[in-house]
Structure 1
Amino acid sequence: MGTGFLGIGCPPKWGLRDIPMMPKARFEIITNYMPKVGSLALDVAFRTCTVQVNLDFSSEADMIRKFRANCNSSVANSPFTDGKPNGYLSMRSHFWTDTDKNRTGMLPFVFDDSFGFEQYVDYSLNVPMYFVYRKKKYIDCSGMFFRDFMAGKLPSIPGEHPTFNDWEVHLGTIYPEVRLKRYLEMRGADGGPFRSLCALFAFWVGLLYDEVSLQNFLDITTDWTSQERQLLRNKVPKSGLKTPFQDGLLRDVAEDVLKLAKDGLERRGFKETGFLNAVTEVVRTGVTPAEKLLELYYGKWGESVDPVFEELLY
């Protein structure tokens, strides 16, 4: 078919006008609504690719600890858009900064003492809806609220009440950095080649599925303020592991956290630490995947992005 799959966070050449919309009714509703709430929303919808890590929790208390740990993640692998460097290491991550503030972001309330399932439900009820699916049709409910739906007062279908499936669909239209469902979805990574994906999964399993490593990681981050977390969220897409943080660089934190992930995998006893090789190299050198691509662009590739289609081809 002449089709290939590229392990990267943004298409390196194509603009919004070059990318056709999947012919689904729900996408039409979403793409009509998104520009009303964010100047970069359509860029997110049409030209970004993430890879989620989905991991389980065993209780509400376990969910809280893992959720807080996951709010600190990012992988930078999208330095090209429109056929040239875009000034970011993760343009995909930058696109999310002005998409829809009602349904994206860091969720500072996760670090409140009162946080739990109920607080996340309250947050979700206050996120505007996109649509409801009835009789094989998507009904436009953009900007309306699930609370009104529960009371039978949704303007698009007055008198009707939601099913549990409606609630699950609504939760799937909320896009914070970490999303809570029956499991936790970590959404902070750019798409990448296969070796990077294996490293990404192994990193989080080693960190979150080992009690000692998880607690040690929470101890490292417990004094981080909401302002510091947001500072990292804003700056890491541009400066990666070279981002100044506290008394050093983010790379210093990454070295400590990577060791915790490796220790956690070793304690699991399944000989999984080899999967960390790709991320180990990034932390050792301080050079993100995006920076390696930029080195190739300004060197071997002669300022052309075309070779990336071979470099990151699956």
Structure 2
Amino acid sequence: MYGNYTMVLSLSSCGAGAVINLSALKTYVGFSPKKYLTCKRSNIAVSNQGIKATASASAAVAATEPLTKEDLMAYFASGCKPKEMWRIGTEHEKFGFEVKTLRPMKYEQITALLNSIAERFDWDKVTENGRTIGLKQGRQIISLEPGGQLELSGAPLKTLHQTCDELHSHIYQVKTVAEELGIGFLGIGYEPKSSLDAVATAPKVPSSTSILLRRFDIIRDYLVRFVSSDPDDVMRRTCTVQVNLDYSSETDMIRKFRASLALQPMATALFANSPFSNGKPNGFLSMRSHLWIDAIKNRTGMIPFVFHDSFGFERYVDYALDLPMCFLHRNKSYLNCRGMTFRDFLSGKISHLSHEQATINDWQNHIGTAWPEVDYSVSRTPYRLKSTVGLLYDEESLQTVLDMISDWTPEEREMLRTQVPITGLKTNFRYGSLQHVAEDVLKLAKDGLERRGYNETGFLNAIAEVVKTGVTPAEKLLELYNGDWGQSVDPLFQEMKY
């Protein structure tokens, strides 16, 4: 089963990669926290900590002089890795619900689940004010999203077989504990039944006493001012899987970024899986993707400059420097930046934060709050999954994709982005439908996986069926809703349950 699919190119201290957001995809790959990064110019060190699951931990940062634009570019450049070191992985989110009532998990149930997983399967607890808010085991992290969504951030792995094994192990552990608690987990991109109020009360922790929720509240405050969509809807009722890939050079990053961004709507169509809201069809195949279309224009979307000749590390740094900041992490707490840009922060123009000196960790946190369709995220190690591995980790397939998209116009790319959440693979494009593009891309992905030599092409079988029929997972659910389910979404919880 699939969820919504959104590509993102992730540039991290460990490398960059095309990232796919496949909401609650059942077979996925894993993500790892950042490694040590050293920028010689300013002697900057970034510790190996996971941001989300270690919200209460202080960052280890040492800077001998103020950061400069060159330092920020060097941070991205340090991610270049030789091909033999490229890895794949994801962040995997899912909705928890009470099996008897189909209501979202309560915070007390989330705590019991985390504590039991820790005790039974030897995970270390991540706590905040005595509460368990996450788990850590080696390079894997389990954390919570604002609506109580459970997220696994996995380890960097070499093959799709390894990533599949990682997922199966994680799901086994979660299900073993969840079933005893009367809890199930749902693989879908948008909460199909409960109202926003019901979901919003899932983690019942006063934000005034929670550092983690303080971070969420600051981001929400920013979204309220700049987003036309309801920020609570975006933060609390959506799920995703983000998949990252490595790059070897600035040129390699540019090529992968462009290929990923152009093909993002096709990816959304292939994995579209959020057709229900509040217990009935919402008019979309991918409600999750649609919500982001109305989000912050300069912080989300197709970022057209990626296709300009000027694009590279410096151009992306300039873009991120002029984005308003959400927060700073200081002394185990989060400070609201009130929408001032990172460029202003570097120059000391933020009056209420004038005493603070920018660090690489600040830059990392800032980059992590940019959400275009494909992005640089310094909080993640780069990876990628299935068809994407075959496309972006194989030089021949990647070049063929770049040739294919070379004459796509900005207007066409934007049209695909806005229309695909509604019509999926049936979206009209040039002389046919997007399904025909997907057929060509799928063949390239298969060829690329074959050349990798790890016997990974079998992972494309489910996608191949979607491409062949042109019927997305969302359309199959709608057919069941109007047929066997008698126009009720309740059976979906069993159908899409892990």
TM-score of the pair, normalised by structure 1:
0.92
The equivalent residue for 1:4 is 184
Q: How many residues align?
A: 301
Matched, 1:28 2:217: yes
* Deviation (angstroms), 1:87: 0.3
* Deviation (angstroms), 1:295: 0.6
Correspondence list, 1:63-102, <5 A: 63-71=253-261, 72-73=263-264, 74=268, 75-102=271-298
SS in 2 for 1:179: coil
Q: Select which of 321, 326, 336 maps to 1:130.
A: 326
* Deviation (angstroms), 1:148: 1.3
CA distance in 1 between counterparts of 2:453 and 2:283 reads 42
Q: Structure 2: which amino acid aligns with 1:68?
A: R
* Between structures 1 and 2, the one with greater helix share: 1
Q: Structure 1: which amino acid aligns with 2:440?
A: D
The equivalent residue for 1:163 is 359
Matched, 1:312 2:496: yes
SS in 2 for 1:132: strand
CA distance in 1 between counterparts of 2:421 and 2:370 reads 21
Whether the aligned pair in 1 keeps the contact of 2:396 and 2:448 (CA below 8 Å) is: yes
The equivalent residue for 2:311 is 115
Matched, 1:154 2:344: no
Whether the aligned pair in 1 keeps the contact of 2:246 and 2:382 (CA below 8 Å) is: no
Which deviates more, 134-143 or 15-24? 15-24
* Deviation (angstroms), 1:268: 0.8
SS in 2 for 1:153: coil
After superposition, what is the alpha-carbon deviation per residue over 1:44-82, rounded to whole angstroms, capped at 9, x for unaligned? 111111111111011000000000011122231100011
Whether the aligned pair in 2 keeps the contact of 1:129 and 1:142 (CA below 8 Å) is: yes
Matched, 1:45 2:225: no
* Deviation (angstroms), 1:184: 8.2
SS in 2 for 1:138: strand
Whether the aligned pair in 1 keeps the contact of 2:200 and 2:232 (CA below 8 Å) is: no
CA distance in 1 between counterparts of 2:410 and 2:234 reads 25
Which 4+ residue blocks in structure 1 deviate beyond 2 angstroms?
20-23, 181-186
CA distance in 1 between counterparts of 2:441 and 2:338 reads 41
CA distance in 1 between counterparts of 2:465 and 2:365 reads 39
SS in 1 for 2:259: helix
CA distance in 2 between counterparts of 1:3 and 1:130 reads 34
Matched, 1:57 2:57: no
After superposition, what is the alpha-carbon deviation per residue over 1:270-289, rounded to whole angstroms, capped at 9, x for unaligned? 11000001110000000001
Correspondence list, 1:120-269, <5 A: 120-181=316-377, 201-269=385-453
Q: Kindly, what percent of the aligned residue pairs are identical?
A: 60
After superposition, what is the alpha-carbon deviation per residue over 1:182-219, rounded to whole angstroms, capped at 9, x for unaligned? 57879xxxxxxxxxxxxx81110001000000001111
CA distance in 1 between counterparts of 2:477 and 2:200 reads 27
Whether the aligned pair in 1 keeps the contact of 2:190 and 2:276 (CA below 8 Å) is: yes
Whether the aligned pair in 2 keeps the contact of 1:153 and 1:159 (CA below 8 Å) is: no
Whether the aligned pair in 2 keeps the contact of 1:44 and 1:92 (CA below 8 Å) is: yes
CA distance in 2 between counterparts of 1:174 and 1:142 reads 16
**What root-mean-square deviation, in Å, do the aligned CA atoms of Structure 1 and Structure 2 show?**
1.5
Whether the aligned pair in 2 keeps the contact of 1:67 and 1:184 (CA below 8 Å) is: no
Q: Structure 1: which amino acid aligns with 2:325?
A: M
Whether the aligned pair in 2 keeps the contact of 1:83 and 1:305 (CA below 8 Å) is: yes
CA distance in 2 between counterparts of 1:264 and 1:32 reads 44
Matched, 1:280 2:469: no
CA distance in 2 between counterparts of 1:67 and 1:185 reads 12
The equivalent residue for 2:455 is 271
TM-score of the pair, normalised by structure 2:
0.59
The equivalent residue for 1:19 is 199
* Between structures 1 and 2, the one with greater strand share: 2
CA distance in 2 between counterparts of 1:293 and 1:163 reads 47
CA distance in 1 between counterparts of 2:259 and 2:322 reads 24
Which deviates more, 172-181 or 228-237? 172-181
